[in-house]
C-alpha cells in the first residue's frame, strides 16, 4: 500500500528519483557518455526511442537494430535534428529469428566498434492465435527473450574486451515487466505444451513467461559474469505501465475508457524510459549486478523470478534451443544443396 502511494505521489526513493522522474532527469548528472557505444533494441518507438534520444543527447554513440529499418532511420533523423553531431547507426535485426540475430552480431562485430551498453528493450505482445517463429519457438518468447539471450551471448566478448581496455564498466539492461509476476507455474512445461498445442494459447500468459525469463536470465548472467571476473554488470528493469504500441493495438471504447481512468497511473514515455536510463548510466549503479529495478529504485521481483535453480535451468534450456535451431538450419541448407546438385 505504501509503495502504491509513493508511486502515485511520485515520491523519490533513496537515490532522489521516483516514478515521476524522466530519462533526462536521471541522466542530467551522469558523466559524459561521449566515449560510450550503446546498442538499444526496440528503439523505433516508445520507450526505446526515448532511451536512444536521451543517451545520444548525453553523447553516446547509439546503434539501433531494427526489423523496420525505415522507422529506425526516422528515429535516427529526429535524434540528429535535436542533437547535431549525434552518432546514430541503424542495422537490420529481427529478434524472432536466430539467424537474423547472428547476422546482426556478425555485422556489428566486424565494424570493430567498442561496446559499453547493451539495452535489451524490444518487446512483443502477440494478440490472438499461437504463432511460432521460424525456429519453431513461441513468438513472444522468441522475440522478448530467446533473441535477446543469443544477442547478449554473441556480444558479451566485445563488452568484456571493451571494459578491460577502457577501464569503464560495461552494463547490460534487460527490460522486463511487473507482469512477470503473473506467471507462477512451470514455465518450461508451459512453453512445451503451448508449442505442441496441448493447451490453449493465452497471449497474456505467454507475455508473462517471456518477462519472467528476462528476470531469470539477468540472475544467472550476473552470477556467470562474476565468476568470469568480467567488469560488466547486468540488471533488469520494470519501466512502468505506459501506453505504447505494445498495448495500443487493443483499441476500442472499453480500452479507451480504461486508459482514461488509469491515466493518472500511466507513465509518460519520458518517465517510462527513466529506469532504463538510470540503470544504464548513473554512477550510483556502478558495481550493482543481478538486481531488479522499478521507478528508478531497486525493487523485489516475484518469488518465481528469484529461484536460482530455475535461472540455471532456463540457461540450459536456452542453450539447447539454440543448438536444435542450428541443427534445423544445417538440415535446411543440406536439403537445399541436394536440390541444387540434383
Question: Cβ(29)–Cβ(109) under 8 Å?
Answer: no
What is the separation, in whole angstroms, between the first and last Cα of the chain? Answer: 70
Q: Which domains does the chain have, with CATH numbers?
A: 16-328 (3.40.50.720)
The answer to whether residues 297 and 279 touch, using CB atoms and an 8 Å cutoff, is: no
Name the grid cell of 10. Answer: 511520485
Question: What is the grid cell recorded at 117?
Answer: 551498453
Cα 209 from Cα 190, distance rounded (Å): 9
Q: 3-class secondary structure for 220-278? A: HHHHHHHHHCCCEEEEEEECCCECCHHHHCCCCHHHHHHHHHHCCCCECHHHHCHHHHH
In degrees, rounded to 5, the angle at the alpha carbon of residue 124 between the alpha carbons of residues 119 and 125 is 145
The pLDDT assigned to 329 comes to 59
Is residue 279 pLDDT above 60, yes or no? yes
φ, ψ of residue 120 to 5 degrees: the values are -85, 85
Q: How many residues does the chain have?
A: 342
Helix axes 203-228, 308-341, angle to 10 degrees: 100
pLDDT of residue 10: 58
Here the cell at position 175 is 527490460
Question: What are the tens digits of pLDDT across the range 171-227?
Answer: 999 999 888 888 888 888 888 989 999 999 989 999 999 999 999 999 999 999 999
On the question of pLDDT at 45 being above 70, the answer is yes
Number of Cβ atoms within 10 Å of the Cβ of 293: 23
Q: What is the CA radius of gyration of the chain?
A: 20
pLDDT cut 90: percent of the chain above it: 69
Instruction: Please tell me whether residue 12 adopts helix, strand or coil conformation.
Output: coil
> Mapping DSSP to helix (H, G, I), strand (E, B) and coil, where does residue 137 land?
coil
| Cα→Cα distances 55→20, 27, 156, Å | 19, 8, 21
Cell of 251: 483499441
Q: Which of 145, 201, 207, 292 is catalytic?
A: 201
Pair 58, 281: CB distance under 8 Å: yes
201 flagged as catalytic: yes
Neighbours of 95 (CB within 10 A): 27
DSSP notation for 264-333: TTSBPHHHHTHHHHHHHH-GGGTT--S-EEETTEEE---GGGG-HHHHHHHHHHHHHHHHHHHHHHHHHH
Is residue 73 exposed (0-12), middle (13-18) or buried (19+ Cβ within 10 Å)?
middle
Residue for grid cell 540434383: 342
pTM score: 0.89
Nearest to 177 by CA among 293, 21, 318, 86: 293
Q: pLDDT tens-digit profile of 66-93?
A: 999 999 999 999 999 999 989 999 999 9
CA count, 13 A, side-chain hemisphere, 176:
33
Give the model confidence (pLDDT) of 298-324 as tens digits: 999 888 788 899 999 999 999 999 998
336 pLDDT tier (thresholds 50, 70, 90): very low
pLDDT of residue 180: 86
Give the 3-state secondary structure of residue 40.
strand
Amino acid at each position: 500500500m505504501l509503495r502504491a502511494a509513493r508511486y502515485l505521489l511520485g515520491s523519490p526513493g533513496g537515490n532522489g528519483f521516483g516514478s515521476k522522474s524522466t530519462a533526462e532527469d536521471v541522466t542530467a548528472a551522469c558523466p559524459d557518455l561521449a566515449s560510450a557505444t550503446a546498442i538499444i533494441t526496440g528503439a523505433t518507438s516508445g520507450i526505446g526511442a526515448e532511451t536512444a534520444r536521451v543517451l545520444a543527447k548525453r553523447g553516446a554513440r547509439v546503434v539501433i537494430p531494427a526489423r523496420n529499418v525505415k522507422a529506425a532511420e526516422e528515429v535516427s533523423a529526429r535524434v540528429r535534428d535535436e542533437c547535431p553531431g549525434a552518432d546514430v547507426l541503424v542495422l537490420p535485426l529481427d529478434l524472432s529469428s536466430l539467424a537474423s540475430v547472428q547476422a546482426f552480431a556478425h555485422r556489428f562485430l566486424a565494424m570493430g566498434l567498442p561496446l559499453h551498453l547493451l539495452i535489451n528493450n524490444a518487446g512483443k505482445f502477440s494478440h490472438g492465435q499461437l504463432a511460432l517463429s521460424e525456429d519453431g519457438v513461441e513468438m513472444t518468447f522468441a522475440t522478448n527473450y530467446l533473441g535477446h539471450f543469443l544477442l547478449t551471448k554473441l556480444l558479451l566478448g566485445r563488452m568484456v574486451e571493451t571494459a578491460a581496455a577502457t577501464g569503464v564498466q560495461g552494463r547490460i539492461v534487460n527490460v522486463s515487466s511487473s507482469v512477470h509476476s503473473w506467471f507462477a507455474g512451470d514455465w518450461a512445461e508451459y512453453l512445451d505444451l503451448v508449442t505442441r498445442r496441448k493447451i490453449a494459447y493465452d497471449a497474456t500468459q505467454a507475455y508473462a513467461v517471456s518477462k519472467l525469463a528476462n528476470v531469470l536470465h539477468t540472475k544467472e548472467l550476473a552470477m556467470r559474469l562474476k565468476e568470469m571476473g568480467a567488469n560488466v554488470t547486468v540488471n533488469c528493469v520494470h519501466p512502468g505501465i505506459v501506453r505504447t504500441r505494445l498495448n495500443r493495438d487493443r483499441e476500442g471504447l472499453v480500452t479507451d475508457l480504461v486508459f482514461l481512468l488509469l491515466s493518472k497511473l500511466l507513465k509518460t514515455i519520458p518517465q517510462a524510459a527513466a529506469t532504463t536510463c538510470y540503470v544504464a548510466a548513473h554512477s550510483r549503479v556502478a558495481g550493482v549486478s543481478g538486481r531488479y529495478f522499478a521507478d528508478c529504485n531497486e525493487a523485489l521481483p516475484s518469488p518465481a523470478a528469484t529461484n536460482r535453480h530455475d535461472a540455471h535451468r532456463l540457461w540450459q534450456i536456452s542453450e539447447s534451443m539454440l543448438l536444435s535451431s542450428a541443427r534445423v538450419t544445417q538440415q535446411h541448407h543440406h536439403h537445399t544443396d541436394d536440390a541444387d546438385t540434383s
